[in-house]
Amino acid sequence: MLQHVTCQLIYTEEPEFSLNRDYFEEDFKNHVKGRRWMELSMEEQRAYVMRLLDALEVTDRDKRLKVARAILYLAQGVFDECDTETDVLYWSRHNVFLLYDMGIFTALLELLSMEIDNNQACSSAVRKPAISLADSTELRVLLSIMYLMVETIRVEMEGDSPERKAAREAFKAELGSPLYNGEPFALLLFTMVTKFCSMNAPHFPMKKVLLLLWKTILFTLGGFEELQEMKVRMREQLNLPPLPEDSIKVVRNMRAASPPASAMELIEQQQQQKRGRRSRRPLVKQDSLDTYNERDPFKNDDVRDEEDDPEDMDSGIEGEVDPLDRDVIIQPPPPPPPLRPPTERLSFPKGLPWAPKVREKDIEHFLETSRNKFIGFTLGNCQSESPLLIEILYLGMLPSLSQYVIALLKLLLAAAPTSKAKTDSINILADVLPEEMPITVLQSMKLGIDVNRHKEIIVKAIAALLLLLLKHFKLNHIYQFEYVAQHLVFANCIPLILKFFNQNIMSYISARNSICALDFPHCVVHEMPELTAESLEAGDSNQFCWRNLFSCINLLRILNKITKWKHSRTMMLVVFKSAPILKRALKVKQAMMQLYVLKLLKIQTKYLGRQWRKSNMKTMSAIYQKVRHRLNDDWAYGNDIDARPWDFQAEECALRESIEKFNTHRYDKNQNSDFTPVDNCLQSVLGQRVDLPEDFHYSYEMWLEREVFSQPIQWEGLLQA
């Protein structure tokens, strides 16, 4: 939880810690004489929080801000009374549950709504030539408290009392229900995102909004573990066979592969061998392409890439030793103490890590082809044909879904390291730039690190948010997933993600944009050391940035989800020349990231031509060994029926038509008669009241004779229907 609390703070906000403390102590000493917060009983603490709650309702804006800062100090763990970081986290958790119990979140929500609708502040920000932290002070304080409350209550800790568990479930239901002006809390945050991206509120602190939105979705709908449990339960309810394995557990037990060597590495190796020197161990020599250490049959294959560019030859960072040259495999950081007994480690026999899989469509296609070939006839199409919080969220997002998607992708583009500043682009640095710009080299370096870190956190929040939405909508109803995915495609999500990866990805993964001395709660418990240009340049001790690795994996998973089984979108990967970009991403020796890169390469190999497959046999071997195989899965040969010319526009239009029918049938209250469901219940139909003309009873016998008795009834057809 510590790193998630830290990431919502920016280093430029560091002076505000003492400001929060001062406002709290000033008010606290006036009402509680000679005692500290920790010395109060629970009832005394509740009484004081109730007084703060009443003070939030004053009309004076400055007084409200002082009270909000005092509440923020409580949520931050009354750090001035603590001796260790553990004490800060303990009291932060204690105070957050107390604040929620006293109704602080609802009061903050009302204030947030007022700030969002503050047209004077919006118009003032639009007219200002340069926006800084000072323009979003009230919003930042409110969002910081709300983020701390959502994230702290969301995380379940060992030893939580029954009261806290009940509070967690109540808060979860409250956030996901349409209790805030008839819509879930997440929709209010989505509204802030679209308002910011439309340039109507450029002072909104987007990083805090996105982090709070992500954590709200994560809390109300659940994370990947909850998704897996929901998937298992739903399969049981539908009498489907159990899943053969848990994908995440399988990937965690995979071993990272050696990436294909670049042309520069092969040339260097040959030159060193000619000089008779012992060459350094090249990446191509590691027998780890197979998960279970079986010998690689393609070890000595030529791995030239016909589309290699100069950037591909540079796998490291200028001026530093490439971590890959030391044969370092990225392993996850040591896990925190387990909250539950550890699950049994999966053990696999030697061979492929995945159980083979098959779609119903593949089975039907195989059977129809076989029947037609050997028997001479086909049976035609004989196919037959969700949680409440997801339905509420989807229904609320439906009218403005395209705006939400476009806004998120605009923010992702602005935060991408490959993006260049444009005069017409949105300014995502409004909540990180100070009022007075730095005047020394040290201040400039500190601000530069803060800006880069700020962008990285925005990318992380957007990638996690989009992936969560796609996975939950897919589990709830496939057309909900397809609707979001199609909007992502239409908003150019595919080239945007490819542009993100078209960089020196190892530099991005190993970036060190953090200052440990300024991280919370370290900065409020320990004495601040003297910062120097050398210490800032050295960064932290971590060899890799897990935040950026997390973002890269999630972006690859999003790209996989929106292109899977879609020929038109797979061809977009080919048209945008994604193969060399994705091959460079294989240089990151982390199993999960490599898996999703290989999946993206697998779906387009049939379109890349025989020469590409011949020149990239090591990559083809890695795909075979690490990616799941399916029935009739001749991806490596390019002779599948799906590789033929395809009417891509018709494919997307047909999908769009099906989605619109689903949305109209399920959510449109003013339904067209073509989509009105038919009532097949005899008692229900006969029980309906039908308005008849006044003279009907005079001629009803003639009507019966003409419309009923004289009409032939096809009983066999009626029974078949």
Cα torsion angle, 84, 85, 90, 95, sign: positive
Size (the chain), residues: 721
Both tokens of 560, joined, read 């996989």
Mean pLDDT of 120-142: 90
The whole-angstrom separation of Cα 78 and Cα 416 is 36
The whole-angstrom separation of Cα 707 and Cα 696 is 14
The whole-angstrom separation of Cα 288 and Cα 409 is 36
Q: Which residue has the higher pLDDT, 451 or 294?
A: 451
The whole-angstrom separation of Cα 287 and Cα 667 is 55
State the Rg of the chain over Cα.
30
The distance of Cα 138 from the centroid of its chain, to the nearest Å, equals 27
The pLDDT of residue 333:
57
Mean pLDDT of 241-245: 85
Tell the residue number behind the tokens 């601040």, with chain if given.
Answer: 528
Smallest Cα–Cα separation from 142: which of 270, 25, 56? Answer: 56
Inter-residue contact 332 to 544 (CB < 8 Å) = no
Mean pLDDT of 586-605: 94
The pLDDT of residue 430:
86
Q: pLDDT band at 329, cuts 50/70/90?
A: low
The whole-angstrom separation of Cα 130 and Cα 84 is 39
Smallest Cα–Cα separation from 301: which of 351, 261, 255? Answer: 261
DSSP 180: B
Q: What is the pLDDT of residues 379-389, one digit of tens each?
A: 444 333 387 88
Smallest Cα–Cα separation from 1: which of 86, 73, 83? Answer: 86
pLDDT exceeds 80 at position 414? yes
The whole-angstrom separation of Cα 461 and Cα 412 is 9
Q: pLDDT band at 166, cuts 50/70/90?
A: very high
The pLDDT of residue 318:
32
User: Could you count the other beta carbons within 10 Å of the beta carbon of residue 24?
Assistant: 23
Beta-bridge partner residues of 361: none
Arithmetic mean of pLDDT over the chain: 81
Q: pLDDT band at 265, cuts 50/70/90?
A: low
Pick left, alpha or beta for residue 519 (phi over 0 → left; psi -120 to 50 → alpha; otherwise beta). beta
Highest-pLDDT range among 228-242, 372-386, 638-652: 228-242
Element (H, E) at 64: helix 61-75
Element (H, E) at 717: helix 715-720
User: Could you count the other beta carbons within 10 Å of the beta carbon of residue 292?
Assistant: 14
The whole-angstrom separation of Cα 571 and Cα 646 is 10
Smallest Cα–Cα separation from 457: which of 546, 379, 375, 380? Answer: 546
Distances (CA, A) of 289 to 251, 259, 292: 14, 8, 9
Beta-bridge partner residues of 370: none
The whole-angstrom separation of Cα 371 and Cα 203 is 65
User: Could you count the other beta carbons within 10 Å of the beta carbon of residue 620?
Assistant: 21
pLDDT exceeds 70 at position 339? no
The whole-angstrom separation of Cα 220 and Cα 185 is 10
Mean pLDDT of 510-522: 86
The whole-angstrom separation of Cα 394 and Cα 483 is 10
Q: Which residue has the higher pLDDT, 263 or 604?
A: 604
Q: pLDDT band at 15, cuts 50/70/90?
A: confident
pLDDT exceeds 90 at position 110? yes
Element (H, E) at 116: helix 104-116
Q: Collapsing DSSP states into helix, strand and coil, what is residue 588?
A: coil
Q: pLDDT band at 718, cuts 50/70/90?
A: low
Highest-pLDDT range among 307-321, 410-424, 487-501: 487-501
| Contacts of residue 400, Cβ cutoff 8 Å, sequence gap at least 6 | 190, 194
CA atoms within 13 A on the CB side of 524: 27
Q: pTM of the entire structure? A: 0.80
**Candidate from 49-63, 180-194, 301-315 with smallest mean pLDDT:** 301-315
Q: What is the pLDDT of residues 471-499, one digit of tens each?
A: 999 999 999 999 999 999 999 999 999 99
The pLDDT of residue 473:
97
The pLDDT of residue 645:
55
Q: Collapsing DSSP states into helix, strand and coil, what is residue 98?
A: helix
Q: Which residue has the higher pLDDT, 311 or 575?
A: 575
Inter-residue contact 171 to 216 (CB < 8 Å) = no
The one-letter code for the residue type at 226 is: E
Output the DSSP codes for 253-284. Answer: T--PPPPPPPHHHHHHHHHHHHTT------GG
Distances (CA, A) of 703 to 686, 691, 693: 18, 16, 13
pLDDT exceeds 60 at position 291? no
Both tokens of 213, joined, read 């939105």
The one-letter code for the residue type at 183 is: E
User: Could you count the other beta carbons within 10 Å of the beta carbon of residue 109?
Assistant: 17
pLDDT exceeds 80 at position 721? no
The whole-angstrom separation of Cα 343 and Cα 222 is 20
Highest-pLDDT range among 328-332, 338-342, 715-719: 715-719
The pLDDT of residue 345:
43
Highest-pLDDT range among 150-159, 432-441, 646-655: 150-159
Element (H, E) at 44: helix 42-55
pLDDT exceeds 50 at position 312? no
Both tokens of 663, joined, read 């949305």
The whole-angstrom separation of Cα 621 and Cα 606 is 15
Smallest Cα–Cα separation from 573: which of 593, 592, 559, 553? Answer: 559
Beta-bridge partner residues of 142: none
Output the DSSP codes for 466-525. Answer: HHHHHHHHHHH-HHHHHHHHHHHHHTTHHHHHHHHHSS-HHHHHT-----GGGSTTHHHH
pLDDT exceeds 90 at position 395? yes
